[in-house]
Structure formats: structure tokens, C-alpha cells
Amino acid sequence: MREEVTIIGAGLGGLILAGILHMHGVKVVVHEGEASPDARTQGGLLDLHQHSGQRALRAAGLFEAYRRLVRPGEDAKRIVDRKGTVLLDRTGDPASARPEVDRGELRRLLLDVLPPGLVRWNNKVVSIQATGRGCHRVTFSDGSETQTTLLVGADGAWSRVRSLVTDTRPSYTGTCFLELHLAADDPRASAAAKVIGTGTLMAVASGQGILAHRNADGSIHTYVAVNRPETWLTRNAASLTERVASLFDEWAPSLRALITGGDARPIVRPIHALPPSLTWPRVPGVTLLGDAAHLMSPFAGEGANLALLDGAELARALVLGGGDREDALADYECDLFARSGPVAQRSAANLERFFGPDAPNSMVELFARR
């Protein structure tokens, strides 16, 4: 099979790229290793920014549909210390220019505008081979394969496509998240919601913290952050929740309950990042977007926004780029490097602010300035 544009990865960036290309009559296929759209939870809330995420949705003709999904007032922020003392309690702004939206609902919006079959699920990449003149052969775990004249890596942190353009791999930042979930009908959810407030709770200290918010269905989403070596995380993984909880022994009981009160096995998410200055030479017939191109910690709030903008800008370059596709890709990548580098630098700096020696005061200063 020969495909004009092959996108590996059905995340936000890959889907918006596919949607805009399809809208303009470009033949495109998305291959995704997960079995279905509902194979795993899609994370929590995102605030989409006017000049990146929202701009991308406008380009895709989905801005009004997105506005119907936003959660007014969910941008509230509450910062507390380890004793539970409130240091900053900022109410949400129903007219915020950066409203919150559920990541899963946003992904569903991007999927629903695509025709059946454009996203091919359970298609995990096992190998990619250059076949000359900018073409690539992609082989999948079921033995099938495809050839394409343009391969786009939208396949996240551990991108298989990235290896075609650079040998650089993500490095562990030293911070790990345990992602926990508490169902809305759990008797413990009401008490947790009172601690969290109307938006996002940030209980941070040097080397550790608890970040939590409520989902649209009333369930509780919690990320427990610890600064520990990767070897500490993998040693006796069965007891990881207990070992992490022991690091919070001196914290307020109401905060510790957010760690011990989950209703499912936690998801371990070591935070990795690519170098902020990462670039690569133009490789014919292949490019990257989103985390595949500029993986960073989540502490600039820009990862999803950049992925969406990458997808929209790549689509624009391909649709409006004129005759030479390689020139269009070169222009796209030049802009990609210029916009992602400073954001990655800011993300790394904010990671230090969240869990560095001056936390939580450093966080109060950061959000007080906004």
C-alpha cells in the first residue's frame, strides 16, 4: 500500500494535522498502536492558549465546537504548604482567555470529524526503512506494511520516527509522577474535593508535591510528584505507592489522603525531556511534531498547545507551500525550532520552581505575577 501522508500517532497533534489535511483533500492515514480510542485515560485538564492551541483549532474549523467543551472557572489555583495552610487561593475567571478543557473530550472532538478508517488502531510500528527519494516503508506488529512519501512522527516521547532524524533521546528530569484516580461516587471524593477547591490544588515542597483537580464527572485526578532516581522508582514496584506515601508522613492528613485514597493502581510517569536546543538536519520525506519533536516537562503548560499548533502549522505548510514539499517542510521545521526552544527552557525552569529549595514560596510568586 502506498500512502501520501502517513502519521504515526493519534494524539492531539497528529489528529489535528490529519483533520486539516483531510479537509483540504490530501490523502492521509493515521496509524496508532493503541487498540482503540478508549484504551487508556487521556489525562486531566488542559488550558488552551489563544496563540497556539486555540489558533490551531480555528485553523481546523473546530473553535466553536471546542468552546462548548470548556470548563468556565476551572482555572482557579490553590497553593498550600505541607501543613495544608493556604498560601494563595485564586478564584477562577469565567471569561478567561485560557479556559480549561478535558483532554479526553478534546481528543474525541478531533477524532469525530475524521471519516471512519482514517485512523487505524492497533497498528504498532515495529520498523521503518528508508527506500530512497524521500520514501519510507513502515512495518507494523501484525505483519502489515505501508509505503509513504511523507512520514510524520506524532508518536510521543519515545517516538520511533525520531530516530530517522536524530540520535538524541529523552533524559529523565529527576522528577516522577504517580497518577491516581478517585471515582466520583467514592465516599472519599467529597472530602478530597473540599481540599482541592474549585480548580487545581498545588501542595508543593522541596523535592515533592501533590497536584490535584476534579474532572468534569466529579472524579478526582491526582499527581504525586517526587524527586527520586529512576532506580528508586523501579525497585520493588509493587510497593511504590506505600514508599511514596511514606515521604509525606509529616504532611497534613487531608493531603496524605489524596495519595492513599485512590481507587485503582497508580500510573507511574517519570518525567523525561529532550534538550531545549534540539534541532536536526532536513531529512527528505520525514518530520516530527509534538512530544516527538520537543518533549518537555508539563510545567510550562505548553505541551498540548505546541502539539496542536505544530499539527496546524505543518498542515498549512503542506497545503499552501506551493510546489516543493521539501522546502515547505524546511520552513515548518525552522519555525518549529524557534517556537519550541524558549518554551522548553521555561518548562525546565518552572520544574525547578515547583519542587526546588524555595518551594512553595517560589510557586506563590510565580502565580501571583500572572
The whole-angstrom separation of Cα 112 and Cα 114 is 5
CATH of 2-70+97-170+274-353, one of 3.10.20.740, 3.40.50.300, 3.90.180.10, 3.50.50.60: 3.50.50.60
The whole-angstrom separation of Cα 359 and Cα 209 is 9
> Considering the entire predicted model, what is its pTM?
0.92
Q: Mean pLDDT, to the nearest integer, of 227-239?
A: 78
The whole-angstrom separation of Cα 8 and Cα 252 is 45
- pLDDT for position 33: 96
Convert the pLDDT of each residue in 30-82 to its tens digit. 999 999 988 777 667 888 999 999 999 999 999 999 999 988 777 789 999 99
Confidence of residue 248 (pLDDT cuts 50, 70, 90): very high
Instruction: Tell me what the pLDDT averaged over the chain comes to.
Output: 91
Domain 173-272 has CATH 3.40.50.1950: no
Query: 254: closest CA among 44, 80, 77?
Result: 80
Contact call for residues 188 and 63 (beta carbons, < 8 A): no
Contact call for residues 286 and 153 (beta carbons, < 8 A): yes
The whole-angstrom separation of Cα 316 and Cα 321 is 7
Q: Does the pLDDT at position 1 exceed 60?
A: no
Q: Does the pLDDT at position 261 exceed 80?
A: no
Domain map of the chain by residue range?
2-70+97-170+274-353, 173-272
User: Which residues, at least 6 apart from 93, have a Cβ–Cβ distance to it below 8 Å?
Assistant: 73, 75
CA distance to 47, 77, 187, 202, per residue, from 191 (Å): 25, 18, 8, 16
Cross-strand pairs, 201: 78, 212
Using the Cα atoms of residue 355, residue 360, residue 362 and residue 363 in order, give the sign of their dihedral: positive
The whole-angstrom separation of Cα 337 and Cα 305 is 15
Convert the pLDDT of each residue in 118-165 to its tens digit. 999 999 999 999 999 999 999 999 999 999 999 999 999 999 999 999
Convert the pLDDT of each residue in 176-228 to its tens digit. 999 898 888 988 899 999 999 988 999 999 999 999 988 878 888 899 999 99
The whole-angstrom separation of Cα 28 and Cα 252 is 52
Q: Does the pLDDT at position 287 exceed 70?
A: yes
- pLDDT for position 226: 95
Contact call for residues 272 and 173 (beta carbons, < 8 A): yes
- pLDDT for position 29: 97
Convert the pLDDT of each residue in 293-318 to its tens digit. 999 998 888 999 999 999 999 999 99
- pLDDT for position 72: 77
Confidence of residue 172 (pLDDT cuts 50, 70, 90): very high
The whole-angstrom separation of Cα 206 and Cα 200 is 19
